[in-house]
Chain A
Amino acid sequence: MTNNVNITINGKTFQVPEGMNLIEAAELCGIHIPNLCYIKGMRGIGACRLCLVEIEGQKGPVIACTTKVKEGMVVRTETEEIREIRKFVIDLIVSMHPLDCMTCTKAGVCRLQDYAYEFEIKESSFTRKRFGFSPDEGNPFIKRDPDYCILCGRCVRICKAQGTNVLDFMGRGVGAKVTTAADKPLQESGCTFCGSCIDVCPVNAILEADRWRKGREWDYERITSTCLLCGGACDIVVSTMNGRIMKINASAPEASQERYICAYGRFGYDAIESHGRLSRPMIRINGELREVSWEEALSHTAKLLKKAGRDTSFITTGSILNEDALMLKNFVTLVVKTKNIDSTVSLYGDRDSLISQVADIDEADLIITAGLNPSQWTRALASIDAIIRKKVNGGAKLIVISSDDIPLSGIAHVKLTGNEVEFLKALTKALIDKGLSKDKNLTKLTEDAGVTEAVLKAAELIEASKSPLILSSPVLYGAGANLSLIKGKAVSVSPEANAKGVILMGLVPSGLSIKEMAKGGTGLLYVVGDLPINIRPQVETLIYQGTYMTDLARSADVVLPVASYLETEGTIVDYLGRLKRVTKAIDTEIPSHRDIFKDLAKLMKVSLKPPKETEIKKLIKLPSKAKPSAFEKKEGFDLDIRRFIEQINAPVINNSRLLWLKESGVMV
């Protein structure tokens, strides 16, 4: 609960949280202090000097980006002198910037353009400088054009904060260039192509490689949605024009550490328009898949389902929306009336190990990872890796508990490498020993734990922190959550975007398990979603309802195309327990999962209505606290998370420009 203080800006008084950055506080009050080098949420560096303001009591103007608000502060953001200085700085920048506004792709959203307009700088009064740097266009994702660079350093700082360290200044002064080490192209410099630099660049110096001639910014419609390609479930904003997707950017608030999307989420949208995407229903006639009309496909499917009766199994993924999951459950239990249903979620977790409490990662000042190996470089939960690194860069502490040394251990304040369960037990005991808990149950469970020096250090970090957050892999969640009973919160992180939602909607495994279904346990197998199964299971009939023509689809008897995550509406429950919204960015004639099930149900003489949001919300019951659990690692859920995420995204990778990563050898 932060205190509010009273400050006066330009004569008006406002109430803002104490200690907040002055630029952000002013923005809260509706006043914009010009700035080019400031990144919200990160420390100000005072490079551009545009944010100079006059504060009563201080001699001369001071910069706002390094000033924190105090009670009674009196600020003037617009004086003659300050305005002249700002004009001077923009004038200088314009003198070394190509005067390209007419054709520049950043026009309309360019901060330099906005300020030149504000300060009436038509052309520079200083000598024109031209550097003739050649652009780095060797990859299909990010284009760097140093001629446009204004040397604000935001890209350098965000790349450093994330731990990727690809960009830096080369040289000093006006002739300096922001580039990679030894000025090599991005793909030879360890770049993961996450594009955080694109989101942060105020001008046209770093942009999407295919941005040229794809429309002006003011022609774009922007829709905020959520990426569903992995358990990170990052917030995205999709720019569309004429019903087509033009680009995707991160849309978490600028001040939040969660503002990130990886190359999959940013550039994978090509797959939606690719040849590998299913667009028309198909039925296998005389051994070959033939395109048919929807009526034919649906009536044929209904006939097959009626014939198979209870001898059917349904298998889906952990990335389908809540609405689709609930519809599927109702379809299976009320229409087909079989008990065989399972999802990929069962490969790594179950209700006990996945359903955790609601938490906030921005406000956490200590992160404890248990059994997780998030990595931007292998794109296994890349966003979580980036968020943790940004937090540590901003002063948060990190404890990494893992079986082997992982890249994240390198920045941990305490790393506990070895038997994760034993460490969690010892950590809990250390906290009890410190008097932070008197729980008899936990005391008994941790009696035999051995507290080492490292564990003690970790316990001290937990004791000193205000809001620790435990991020655990599903198999260790039970053990890890015991810590949250003493202090802080614990969440279970699944590799898929909506694992928790799928379970909460009732798609818990019953009947045959996914592994058994994949081998072929029933006469009819109905695959819902692009499952990472390569070989056709031994079944009589295989119905494939997905977005892409995978190997499995090619071997099916009926193929029903389904809208992708950028073409449907719905909700998911992310790893922090939040209900996130997925919004339709483009229209399509291809139906969603629930549309198909509704039509199938009708053909089978049952009326099923797509669930309303209130129904969904009623089913989302997350515990407010974890339950005390045994200190053990759950058995039967051995899964290589990194390979798994690659496999579930294989259709998107293979059908988009992401394939270049594999072909050029950049992808590990």
Chain B
Amino acid sequence: MTEVKEKKVEDIKKEAELLKCPVQRSLYYVREFLNGPMCGRCFPCEMGTYEARIRLENLVNGNGSVSDIDALRRIMNYMLTASMCMKGKNTARFVLEWLGSEDFNAHTKGECPQMECKGLIRYRIIPELCIMCGECKKVCKFNALLGEERKPFQSGFLPFEIRQRRCTRCGECIKVCPTKAIIIESKAATVTSAKT
């Protein structure tokens, strides 16, 4: 079994900051921290980050509430003073920094302003922009695209749309759409006009 070198706490922070949503950043950080540098010796850090992961997962899935944010803040504040080593204290510092963002509150209402939390967003095809080339359907591994390529001799057509139950928001279809007809929007958003 090869020895995986433990990631440094600062490196995990850098990796986390590649993400845009602060909740996603915190969750990524806490998960990586629990996998690696968390030594499990002192109770505030060991049990605190475990609990923090549960709360962050709630927020990311749209099941979060204000009490989750309060709990996170409480845990991180105590970790800052009571942790045994700098790893725990730095973790608390980083997460507290991200907790300062207003985006956290938005997640309690089911919205991810940065459009990154997969449980809170959906992909939608704007029919007016779609040229029915079928490229998206070709790359979708989950069979989430409905629709048929427009054939010139056909009068009617099956428009392209995304089956929300199958879509995992992996982002492959967005990459290949030539007209940028697939947009990411909040799950809670209601479609009021045809053009966004």
Per-residue interface assignment for chain A, residues 52 to 65, with 1 indicating a CB less than 8 Å from any chain B CB and 0 otherwise: 10000000110000
Is B46 interfacial (CB-CB < 8 Å)? Answer: yes
Contact of B78 among A60, A88, A93, A169 (CB under 8 A): A88
Of the listed stretches B8-16, B32-40, B169-177, B178-186, name the one at the interface; the rest are far from the partner chain.
B32-40
* Cβ–Cβ contact A48 & B40, under 8 A: no
Is B51 interfacial (CB-CB < 8 Å)? Answer: yes
Given A127-B54, A174-B50; A92-B43 close (CB under 8 Å): yes
Is B41 interfacial (CB-CB < 8 Å)? Answer: yes
* Cβ–Cβ contact B82 & A85, under 8 A: yes
Per-residue interface assignment for chain A, residues 34 to 48, with 1 indicating a CB less than 8 Å from any chain B CB and 0 otherwise: 000000000001111
Interface residues on B, range: 20 to 34
Is B84 interfacial (CB-CB < 8 Å)? Answer: yes
A49 to B84, CA, bound (A): 8
Within 8 A of A (CB), among B3-57: 34, 38-44, 46-51, 54-55
Is A126 interfacial (CB-CB < 8 Å)? Answer: yes
Contact of A126 among B38, B40, B71, B81 (CB under 8 A): B71
A176 to B34, CA, bound (A): 12
Is A184 interfacial (CB-CB < 8 Å)? Answer: no
Given A92-B51, A125-B71; A176-B40 close (CB under 8 Å): yes
Contact of A174 among B42, B47, B82 (CB under 8 A): B47
Contact of B43 among A47, A61, A172, A175 (CB under 8 A): A47
A52 to B48, CA, bound (A): 17
Given A85-B44, A88-B74, A174-B46; A61-B81 close (CB under 8 Å): yes
Given A47-B42, A49-B42; A92-B47 close (CB under 8 Å): yes
* Cβ–Cβ contact A95 & B51, under 8 A: yes
Q: Which of A52, A127, A176 has the most CB of B within 10 A?
A: A127
**Measured between C-beta atoms, what is the minimum distance from A105 to chain B in Å?**
24
- Write out the residue numbers on chain B whose beta carbons fall within 8 Å of the beta carbon of A85: 44, 78, 81-82
A85 to B42, CA, bound (A): 13
* Cβ–Cβ contact B40 & A172, under 8 A: yes
- Write out the residue numbers on chain B whose beta carbons fall within 8 Å of the beta carbon of A172: 38-40, 46
Is A296 interfacial (CB-CB < 8 Å)? Answer: no
- Write out the residue numbers on chain A whose beta carbons fall within 8 Å of the beta carbon of B48: 92
Is A89 interfacial (CB-CB < 8 Å)? Answer: yes
* Cβ–Cβ contact A173 & B84, under 8 A: no
Majority-rule SS of A interface residues: loop
* Cβ–Cβ contact B51 & A173, under 8 A: no
* Cβ–Cβ contact B82 & A61, under 8 A: yes
**Measured between C-beta atoms, what is the minimum distance from A306 to chain B in Å?**
73
**Measured between C-beta atoms, what is the minimum distance from A179 to chain B in Å?**
15
* Cβ–Cβ contact A89 & B44, under 8 A: yes
Within 8 A of B (CB), among A87-132: 88-89, 92-93, 95-96, 125-127, 129
Contact of A173 among B34, B44, B75, B81 (CB under 8 A): B34
A125 to B42, CA, bound (A): 20
- Write out the residue numbers on chain A whose beta carbons fall within 8 Å of the beta carbon of B55: 127
Within 8 A of B (CB), among A1-56: 45-49, 52
A210 to B124, CA, bound (A): 64
- Write out the residue numbers on chain B whose beta carbons fall within 8 Å of the beta carbon of A273: none
Is A219 interfacial (CB-CB < 8 Å)? Answer: no
- Chain B, Cβ-Cβ closest to A49: B82
- Write out the residue numbers on chain B whose beta carbons fall within 8 Å of the beta carbon of A52: 82
Q: Which of A46, A48, A49, A129 has the most CB of B within 10 A?
A: A49
* Cβ–Cβ contact A92 & B81, under 8 A: no
A173 to B49, CA, bound (A): 9
* Cβ–Cβ contact B51 & A81, under 8 A: no
* Cβ–Cβ contact A49 & B71, under 8 A: no
Is A84 interfacial (CB-CB < 8 Å)? Answer: yes
**Measured between C-beta atoms, what is the minimum distance from B69 to chain A in Å?**
14
- Chain A, Cβ-Cβ closest to B54: A127
* Cβ–Cβ contact B82 & A173, under 8 A: no
- Write out the residue numbers on chain A whose beta carbons fall within 8 Å of the beta carbon of B40: 169, 172-173, 176
Within 8 A of A (CB), among B51-101: 51, 54-55, 71, 74-75, 78, 81-84
- Chain B, Cβ-Cβ closest to A61: B81
Q: Which of B43, B44, B71, B84 has the most CB of A within 10 A?
A: B43
**Measured between C-beta atoms, what is the minimum distance from B139 to chain A in Å?**
38
* Cβ–Cβ contact B44 & A49, under 8 A: yes
* Cβ–Cβ contact B50 & A45, under 8 A: no
- Chain A, Cβ-Cβ closest to B78: A88
- Write out the residue numbers on chain B whose beta carbons fall within 8 Å of the beta carbon of A127: 51, 54-55
A81 to B47, CA, bound (A): 19
- Write out the residue numbers on chain A whose beta carbons fall within 8 Å of the beta carbon of B41: 45-47
- Write out the residue numbers on chain B whose beta carbons fall within 8 Å of the beta carbon of A93: 43, 47
* Cβ–Cβ contact A88 & B44, under 8 A: yes
Q: What would be 27 A-B contacts, judged by CB atoms less than 8 Å apart?
A: A46-B41, A46-B84, A47-B41, A47-B42, A47-B43, A48-B43, A49-B42, A61-B81, A84-B78, A85-B44, A85-B78, A85-B82, A88-B44, A88-B74, A88-B75, A88-B78, A89-B47, A92-B51, A95-B47, A95-B51, A125-B71, A126-B51, A127-B51, A151-B43, A172-B39, A174-B46, A175-B50
9 additional contacts (CB under 8 A) given A88-B44, A172-B38: A49-B43, A49-B83, A85-B44, A85-B78, A88-B74, A89-B44, A92-B44, A127-B54, A173-B50
The 4 lowest CB-CB distance pairs between A and B, nearest first, are A172-B40, A92-B47, A174-B50, A88-B78
| Chain B interface residues (CB < 8 Å from chain A) | 34, 38-44, 46-51, 54-55, 71, 74-75, 78, 81-84
